[in-house]
Chains A and B, each alone.
Chain A
Amino acid sequence: MLGVERRSAPVAPPFPPSRPAAREGACDGAPARRRAAPTIVLLVITGGLLAVLALWWSDTPSVHGLGDYLTGAGRILGLMAGYGVVVLVALMARLPPLERGLGTDRLTRWHAMGGRYVVTIIVAHALLITWGYAVTAHEGLINEAGTLLISYPDVLMATVAGLLLVGIGAVSARAARRHMAYETWYYLHFYTYLAIALAFSHQFADGASFASDLKARIAWAALYLLVAALVVWYRLINPLRNAVRHQFRVVGVRRESADVVSIYIGGRYLDELQAEPGQFFRWRFLSRNLWWSSHPYSLSALPRPDVMRITVKDHGDHSGALGDLPIGTRVVAEGPYGTFIPEQTGRRVLLLAGGVGIPPLRAMFAMLPAPVTLIYRASGPGDVVFGDELEAIARDRGATVHYLLGSRDRLGRDPLTAGQLNHMVPGLHRHDVYVCGPAGMTDSAIAALKAAGVPRKRIHHESFEF
């Protein structure tokens, strides 16, 4: 225990990492953890899609005439959508090989893109089936739609499910998300599970590929059950198991600046988590105000076997209440997540932090071998956090810190230019660069780095925009 009281927690000192930062085949004998390569994941997903299309192919004797074509297209899209939702849920199931191999940010982007596609084909499926049936039965579209909704009971549920998904899709659009609180959007999004449950029965009751094919039904149901089990295990049960094992609790709270606060989370056996600098956890603080929300925050110092630290800016409903967290509050922490981890390449490293992006880079700064440079971009001196720590680390490890202060508006220009970067960091184009900050800053920083001659594959950053 640190034996700290509120507002006087000691600074977590820099210390040598408990394991090498190399990702594969650690020399200390620990087995390399499985990570899924993006190409393999795409191949598996495509393989599943081909199997689904083969199911349609084998169950369709022939296609003859407009009605058949329309219905056939509708059926194919329906099968693809039924498979697609399973893939989408699996991407977000927090499966460790996917998280390690693809990274949370890429998984989120794939899920978002796939989600837009699946909602589109669901709408097309409904329209094509209705139209195809109408043509075959020589009925008008409205009549046929009515017949489908009324005489096939599961179709009504499936239609509700489809409308629900369209609604969730609309609400998840970037334009809509800008206008609502993160928590609101997050909880609305869980209705996708309800939609999937509602739509499931009509696949078996009305799907030509399933109606008389027991093997297909078994395989399909097995797929759904498997992904459901994975979700329950990795998103529900595992975090609780970890909370019980590690006994996470708030052990210290320290205000770093006017609007930034650090939280110290203590526990036991934290080294089992194998958290690396640059990674984040999803934190759920079980206090009265905050138990219902979970937020991702990066570690802002190297984790110790008994304490971890996060540093959060006060903005939004969630972050503001963190400064008042009672000591001893239990925490459910899921992780570690994220692939924003420094690799041991032997090249020099430049860390480029903007405002709120300093925590993961501060963690990296404490363990990267010299010569490492940190450029800290902030609006003003009052916005700089960890000033003392950074100086101490620089002194002890022979690293360099540059501060670039002043907001772009007041300076009238962006100080992060290729020329400025080359001037501050000799041999920049031979560096590995890790960038973290608000979206606008990282975009212009990456552009400047590319202009300065740093190859794209050596610019590392995580983007949670989707």
Chain B
Amino acid sequence: MRRAVLALGGTVAGLILLLSFRSHTAVPAAAGVAPSTATTPTTPATSAAPSTPVPKATKTTGAGTGTGAGGSKVVTGSVISSAYGPSQVAVTLTAGKITKVTILQHTDDGEMSQEIDGPALPKLVSETLTAQSAQIDAVSGASYTSAGYIKSLQSALDKARA
């Protein structure tokens, strides 16, 4: 009996440890910056640094830029693959400001994805417009969707500023 209690107690403790160590967005954001404001106070200076290394993205394909109407520029980000499908966004920049984010591809791999992406994507877009960068928090419960969105967004911004 004592061994059973020890085993189960140890399991619960281990689970809590493992999950809490992963409980911040480990998304490799721009400039190789440490994870989001949710956990450690990141130094603000780094977030504005324009010298960005290429973000770690798996199986990216080429992306391009195009000009929209009236002096604004539309930049398409790389396709980010994940277990739940591809993510790709296009950013519309007007006079250097992000004015629109278009979802070109989002993780769409069965019923679960549709349930998650529905509420998550608009939230990510509105946060992007507020932050004017890819330094946004992931949406709770939509880790993969958020990660794919943020990576693709960052790659679009890099291309725009390159």
A residues adjacent to B (C-beta < 8 A) = 53, 56-57, 59-69, 72-73, 76-77, 113, 116-117, 120-121, 133, 135-137, 147, 151, 208, 211-213
List the 6 closest A-B pairs by CB distance, nearest first.
A65-B140, A136-B141, A212-B83, A67-B141, A137-B115, A63-B22
- Within 8 Å CB of B26, what residues of A? 61-62
Q: Is the CB of B15 within 8 A of A62?
A: no
- Within 8 Å CB of B11, what residues of A? 77, 121
Task: List 10 additional contacts besides A62-B25, A62-B138, A64-B140; criterion CB under 8 Å.
Answer: A57-B22, A61-B27, A61-B143, A63-B22, A63-B23, A64-B138, A67-B141, A72-B18, A72-B19, A121-B11
Q: Which of B4, B19, B139, B143 contacts A73 (CB 8 A)?
A: B19
Closest-CB distance, A20 to chain B (whole angstroms): 38
The reply on B112 being an interface residue by CB < 8 A is yes
Complex interface bits, B9-20 against A, C-beta within 8 A gives 1, otherwise 0: 001000100110
- Within 8 Å CB of A63, what residues of B? 19, 22-23, 143
Q: Which of B27, B81, B84, B110 contacts A62 (CB 8 A)?
A: B27
- A60-B22, A62-B26 given; A136·B115 CB < 8 A: yes
Complex interface bits, B122-159 against A, C-beta within 8 A gives 1, otherwise 0: 00000000000000001111111001000000000000
Closest-CB distance, B85 to chain A (whole angstroms): 10
Q: Is the CB of A77 within 8 A of B15?
A: yes
Q: How far is the CA of A64 from the CA of B144 in the complex (A)?
A: 11
B residues adjacent to A (C-beta < 8 A) = 3-4, 7-8, 11, 15, 18-19, 22-27, 35, 38, 81-84, 110-112, 115-116, 138-144, 147
Q: Is the CB of A65 within 8 A of B83?
A: no
Closest-CB distance, B137 to chain A (whole angstroms): 8
Q: Is the CB of B18 within 8 A of A76?
A: yes
Q: Is the CB of B19 within 8 A of A69?
A: yes
- A62-B26, A63-B143, A67-B140 given; A56·B4 CB < 8 A: no
- Within 8 Å CB of B19, what residues of A? 63, 69, 72-73, 76
Q: Is the CB of B3 within 8 A of A68?
A: no
| 11 A-B pairs whose Cβ atoms sit less than 8 Å apart in the complex | A60-B143, A61-B143, A62-B22, A63-B22, A64-B23, A64-B138, A72-B19, A72-B22, A135-B141, A136-B116, A137-B116
Closest-CB distance, B133 to chain A (whole angstroms): 19
Q: Is the CB of A61 within 8 A of B144?
A: yes
Closest-CB distance, B144 to chain A (whole angstroms): 7
Q: How far is the CA of A133 from the CA of B83 in the complex (A)?
A: 17
Q: Is the CB of B18 within 8 A of A57?
A: yes
Q: Which of B7, B15, B112, B115 contacts A117 (CB 8 A)?
A: B7
Q: Is the CB of B15 within 8 A of A76?
A: yes
- A116-B4, A121-B11, A137-B115 given; A64·B141 CB < 8 A: yes
Q: How far is the CA of A212 from the CA of B27 in the complex (A)?
A: 18
Q: Which residue of A lies closest to B4 (CB)?
A: A116
Q: How far is the CA of A44 from the CA of B82 in the complex (A)?
A: 32
Q: Which of A53, A133, A151 contacts B18 (CB 8 A)?
A: A53
- Within 8 Å CB of A116, what residues of B? 4
Q: Is the CB of A68 within 8 A of B18?
A: no
- Within 8 Å CB of B116, what residues of A? 136-137
Q: How far is the CA of A133 from the CA of B111 in the complex (A)?
A: 11
Closest-CB distance, B34 to chain A (whole angstroms): 13
Q: Which residue of A lies closest to B22 (CB)?
A: A63
**Which of B8, B81, B115, B143 is packed against the most chain A CB atoms within 10 Å?**
B143
Q: How far is the CA of A231 from the CA of B139 in the complex (A)?
A: 47
Q: How far is the CA of A65 from the CA of B19 in the complex (A)?
A: 11
**Which of A117, A121, A212 is packed against the most chain B CB atoms within 10 Å?**
A212
Q: Is the CB of A151 within 8 A of B111?
A: yes
Closest-CB distance, A155 to chain B (whole angstroms): 12
Closest-CB distance, A120 to chain B (whole angstroms): 7
